[in-house]
Structure 1
Amino acid sequence: MTCSVSQEDHWVETPYGRLFARRWRPERGIGEPPVVLFHDSLGCVALWRDFPERLAERTGRDVIAYDRLGFGLSESHPGDLSAHFIRDEAERFFPLLRAGLDITRFVVFGHSVGGAMAAACAARYSEACQALITESAQAFVEKRTLHGIRLAEATFREPGQIERLEKYHGSKARWVLAAWTETWLSRAFATWTIERYAPALACPLLVIHGEEDEYGSALHPERIARLATGCSERLILPGCHHVPHREQAEAVLAAVARFLVTRQSDCPDRNQDSTVSC
């Protein structure tokens, strides 16, 4: 499907501060529930770049991305992140976004830690969640994940590096970096697992992971796929690292579009694994 896509910016008032959201609407939409994007630990709406527009164009669905509190154009987070920040996003903040943008049913798509947040939302609001897509999501605190975070933390100490974050997060940049590194490297978070907030996933599930992901081994997509009580698919991308929607965008777009159409047919091919190259 190819069509023009319009773009709308929204501000959602919450008791904790204003959330910024952007919605992409395909001109010839198919009338299906929107895809809601959950960004990664350093991400924001702007860092999705052109992916949401291309996703709306390809699927015919509205696509909504938002900046979590403390990130991007949203207002500052009300304090430090707790070790339960993934649960908090699903329980406290996502319902406010839904109410503010009048979202009833939805598809959730999460990148990195956003994948865990999307899974928590899919589990908690199973009656409203039509499908779940995770991309480079973590399922537990792996040594490989912590090693990647420590390397990134060291890189951001170099001259000029924090300015990369300030471009997107402004004066909140140092908070954003600390929220990621200090939370994941803390003892309080060491025992976190995705099963804690998403013990089972009733909706159709697509798990996307890069074979060379520096923040998580193949154990993560395997573990996430096992949560599905219905149909699930795993897509492992050779030569791909932590940001498939940027590194191999066409493969991701094609997989998501096909998956959502298949989902409408009750997922006749259940529990599939596939490896593709671009």
Structure 2
Amino acid sequence: MTQPATPSPTHDRTIRAKTGDVFARLWWANAELDGAPPPFVLFHDSLGCTELWRGFPQALAAATGRPVIAYDRVGFGRSDPFPGPLPADFIAAEGRDTLPLLHETFGFSRFIACGHSVGGGMAVETAARHPDTCLALVTMGAQAFVEERTLAGIRAAKADFTAPEGLARLERYHGDKAGWVVDAWTETWLSPAFAGWTLDAALARVARPVLAIHGAADEFGSAEHPRRIAEGRGRAEILAGIGHNPHREAEDQVLRLIGEFACELAG
């Protein structure tokens, strides 16, 4: 695992959103971004939060020389509980509702959207909504449509969380929100009402360079997902022998790919 020679300090913020307070963290030498390169904004997965990125944000900042911002969506991690079930537009909502708050709080103008799993879909939607300020798009293990392979993986994971020890692992990060987190993921994706969801409309509006990273052994989606995300916009990198978490399973390779991609950007 890559370890930065000089760790970047972290700077935490609490952001007031319409649905509750949002916890956010910046990895950068300074608490302010005046004069800094455009940061990476990280969008976490369906069970994730800032802490569950583990060492990746620190390593990404070191590998690219760019600030990194991550946050806990409302309902997750250190953010407030979500007031009710997930809305139907929850994937698109992050670019619409949360990105402007991050922009205001941290003071960046341009940014690179980077997301894992459903967070990759949120990064796509964000890039589509902010074409003038989103410099580029990176996805890791993202889904672009509802696939039987995805649903099979979710059904298996749902069964695992019926055991008390399964939920206890999530409670370490989400506290008493852990049950809601599992239900928000599994019940949303397994609902017949969600079966027709795709990123196609958002992808048609993405006008910036794209890097779509995916594990060939990803249990939550085939290689068709990164190919669809990258087609005509950039490149798909399919990593042999890697599953759903390429940034953990092949951190050095992922950092190299993102670092090379970021070096090609004008900004």
Structure 1 stretches (4+) deviating beyond 4 angstroms? none
Residue of structure 2 in register with 1:13 after alignment:
16
Using the size of structure 1 for normalisation, the TM-score is 0.90
1:26, 1:57 within 8 Å by CA — same for their partners in 2?
A: no
Mapped partners of 2:11, 2:29: distance in 1: 11
Correspondence for 1:142:
147
Q: How many residues align?
A: 261
**Equivalent residue, structure 2, for 1:263:** 265
The equivalent position to 1:218 in structure 2, one of 193, 217, 223, is 223
Report the counterpart of residue 92 of structure 2 in structure 1. Answer: 87
Query: Identity across aligned pairs (percent)?
Result: 50
Superposition deviation, residue 88 in structure 1? 1.6
- Aligned partners of 1:3 and 1:262: how far apart in 2? 24
**Which residue of structure 1 lines up, in the alignment, with residue 25 of structure 2?**
22
- Which secondary structure does the structure 2 equivalent of 1:20 belong to? strand
User: Do residues 42 (structure 1) and 47 (structure 2) align?
Assistant: yes
Deviations 1:110-134 (A, max 9, x none): 0000000001000110100011000
> What root-mean-square deviation, in Å, do the aligned CA atoms of Structure 1 and Structure 2 show?
1.7
Alignment counterpart, residue 165 of structure 1, candidates 148, 167, 170: 170
Offset from partner CA, 1:17-37 (integer Å, 9 cap, x none): 11001110147x983100000
- Contact 2:117/2:140 (8 A) holds in 1: yes
Other-structure match for 2:241: 239
- In the alignment, residue 239 of structure 1 is paired with which amino acid? G
Aligned 8 A contact 1:105 1:130 in 2: yes
Q: CA deviation at 1:64?
A: 0.4
Aligned to 2:78: 73
Stretches of structure 1 lacking an aligned partner (at least 5 in a row): 266-278
Mapped to 2, the partners of 1:216 and 1:26 lie a distance apart of 37
TM-score, with structure 2 as normaliser = 0.93
Mean Cα displacement is larger for which, 14-23 or 110-119? 14-23
Q: Supply the AA of the counterpart residue of 1:264.
A: A
For 2:7 and 2:176, how far apart are their aligned partners in 1? 35
Q: Is the 8 A contact 2:210 2:230 kept in 1?
A: yes
Shift of 1:102: 2.1
Equivalence for 2:132: 127
